[in-house]
Structure 1
Amino acid sequence: MAENSELARQKRHYGLIRERLTRPGIAARRAAHIEELERQLVAFARDSEAKERQIAKLEIDLADAAARLLAQARILLADREKQGSDGEDGDRPSVDEIVAVVLKDFPDVSWDDIISVRRERRLVRPRHACMRAVYEQRRDLSLAGIGRIFHRDHTTVLAAVQAAGGSETVY
């Protein structure tokens, strides 16, 4: 008897749940909820596109700023070279002159190739030769300073100098 009453209670309970799920208001609420989610999705897509455009604009601005900074650095470097040659060491060659002499042996390589980020095999020897020549002829420049000129780390300059000089210790 207890089992029949429990079974009857479960049937009533499931019947009420079925009735609630099949009411017309539930389907309308689900449809409204789905429409709201679709509106939110469209809004998120628009927002995402706007942010992508903003990121692209910022990347262009960053590239422009980097180019301006590089141009200013070249101007400052040229001024520094001129000031250095006007002082006591008037016979000291500029970095540009040293690199031009070295690059005569490598006719297919330009200064832009030397300072580029490319790591092609054809550029490694001339780049290292230029770094070594600058290091040997301009002892007033530190390894870090030479690295900045060539857009490299000071350890790259150190490796280039030591590769040519054998086991000589460079500080």
Structure 2
Amino acid sequence: MTDSQLTRQHRHYLAVRERLVRSAGNSGRWPAIAELEAQLAELATENAARARRIATLEEDLADAQARLLAQAQMLLSGRRADDDDDAEGDKSSIEEIVAAVLADFPGVTWADIVSVRRDRRLVKPRHACMRAVYEKRRDLSLPRIGRIFHRDHTTVLAVVNRPVP
């Protein structure tokens, strides 16, 4: 390439650059980019809402599957749901069950039980509460008990499968 061609090409690039900068306006941004960013923010918000809804539906599905599995196991073992309810008598509320367990652990409150803290002094009462709710309220699935205690259902499963100390 010759010098004149390079100079002409350089002037052309400068002219194109000037047109692009002028079309961006005072904001320094192209209107199309601003519009796309607004659409992106809206889509991100919708996506987050859908993700929360999906998580809720997955929890409900896990709860329903656990209930179905428990009912199927009762049917296979020859027991009916009505027989199980009669054997349990009246169903205590979760608050009553937890209050009865926490009576053995002075200084520990419901807020401590559902907190994220993992202090040694809270582990035994938390596990005792989970086990008591599991044993006295057979109508509740593991995922449901987990949600009550702000834990995963696998944590509840590990607690109830662990031998009583």
Listed one character per residue, the Cα deviations across residues 97-141 of structure 1 (whole Å, up to 9, x for unaligned) are 11011123344443344334x142243322111011223333454
The structure whose Rg is larger is 1
TM-score normalised according to structure 1 size: 0.50
Residue number among 29, 35, 59 corresponding to 1:39 in the alignment: 29
Task: From 118, 123, 148, give the equivalent of 1:120.
Answer: 118
- Asked if 1:30 corresponds to 2:30, the answer is no
Unpaired runs of at least 5, structure 1: 1-12, 67-86, 167-171
Q: Which residue of 1 aligns with 2:61?
A: none
How many residue pairs are counted as aligned between the two chains? 127
Matches within 5 A, 1:1-171: 13-21=1-9, 23=11, 26-36=13-23, 38-40=28-30, 44=33, 48=37, 51=41, 55=45, 88=86, 89-116=88-115, 118-121=116-119, 122-165=121-164
Q: Which amino acid aligns with 1:100?
A: A
Which digits, 9 at most, give the CA deviation of each residue in 1:60-95, with x for residues without a partner? xx7xxx8xxxxxxxxxxxxxxxxxxxx855444322
In 1, the alpha carbon distance for the partners of 2:100 and 2:123 equals 17
Residue 4 of structure 2 aligns with an amino acid whose one-letter code is L
Query: Structure 1 28/90 Cα, relative in aligned 2: closer, same or farther at 3 Å?
Result: same
Give the unaligned 5+ runs of structure 2.
57-84
After TM superposition, the score normalised by the length of structure 2 is 0.51
C-alpha separation between the residues in 2 aligned to 1:149 and 1:105? Answer: 20
Percent of residue pairs identical: 50
The structure-2 alpha-carbon separation of the partners of 1:18 and 1:106, relative to structure 1 and needing over 3 Å to count, comes to: same
Pair 115,45 (structure 1): closer, same or farther in 2 beyond 3 Å: farther
The residue type paired with residue 39 of structure 1 is R
Give me the whole-angstrom Cα distance separating, in 1, the residues matched to 2:163 and 2:152: 18
Q: CA RMSD in A?
A: 4.0
